[in-house]
């Protein structure tokens, strides 16, 4: 019986040693590689969208709809990489025509016109705060956004004209 007991203790001791070794290896791997960015991840992080919204002017009309005039800056290089749209986002929902990709679809690059400004009218916005964001054809969203408080006449990078 003592042979079985010794054998059991050895197996248990072996499992503990295996677990300790695995834990030690995991700690070593985390120390060695955990603080070093993985190149693919680092490149994707750097490549976030870089189309920036610089300024927004919002005008309310008599029928309750709004016109958004948005100034966007992006280092357009031509058809292969350009700011291709911007959105007005209300509680995570984009105010746009159902058939369009964005609130305003930008149909061509603006290589020699930076920043550029475009307007979209007829938007129905039933909230007090919206986010305006720009999109570029390669990297998507991720540039500077502007939060517009429609209750205020002016903010740091926006202005609002409301009907009384």
**pLDDT by residue (tens digit) across 35-62?**
444 444 333 334 457 899 999 999 999 9
Containing domain of residue 58, as a range?
Answer: 49-161
Q: Which helix or strand (DSSP H or E) is residue 6 part of?
A: helix 2-33
Same domain, 140 and 94: yes
Domain of 54: which CATH number?
2.60.40
Whole-number mean pLDDT of the chain?
80
The CB-side HSE value for 102 (13 A sphere, CA atoms) comes to 21
Same domain, 118 and 157: yes
- DSSP label of 101: S
Beta bridge partner(s), residue 9: none
In a domain, 149, yes or no: yes
In a domain, 7, yes or no: yes
Assigned token pair, 106: 């930008």
Let me know if 148 is exposed, middle or buried by CB neighbors in 10 A (0-12, 13-18, 19+).
Answer: buried
Query: Which has more confidence, 132 or 11?
Result: 132
In a domain, 42, yes or no: no
Task: Output the pLDDT for position 33.
Answer: 56
Q: Are 95 and 103 in contact (CB under 8 A)?
A: yes
């Amino acid at each position: 019986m003592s042979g079985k007991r010794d054998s059991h203790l050895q197996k248990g001791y072996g499992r503990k040693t295996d677990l300790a070794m695995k834990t030690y290896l995991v700690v070593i791997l985390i120390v060695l590689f955990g603080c070093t960015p993985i190149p693919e991840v680092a490149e994707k992080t750097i490549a976030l969208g870089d189309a920036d919204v610089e300024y927004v002017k919002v005008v309310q009309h008599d029928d309750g709809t709004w016109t958004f005039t948005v100034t966007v800056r992006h280092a357009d290089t031509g058809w292969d990489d350009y700011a291709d749209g911007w959105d007005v986002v209300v509680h995570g929902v984009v105010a746009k025509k159902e058939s369009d990709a964005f609130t305003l679809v930008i149909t061509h690059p603006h290589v020699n016109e930076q920043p550029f400004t475009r307007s979209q009218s007829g938007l129905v916005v039933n909230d007090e705060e919206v986010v305006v964001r720009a999109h570029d054809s390669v990297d998507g969203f991720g540039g500077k956004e502007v939060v517009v408080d429609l209750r205020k006449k002016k903010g740091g990078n926006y202005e609002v004209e409301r009907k009384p």
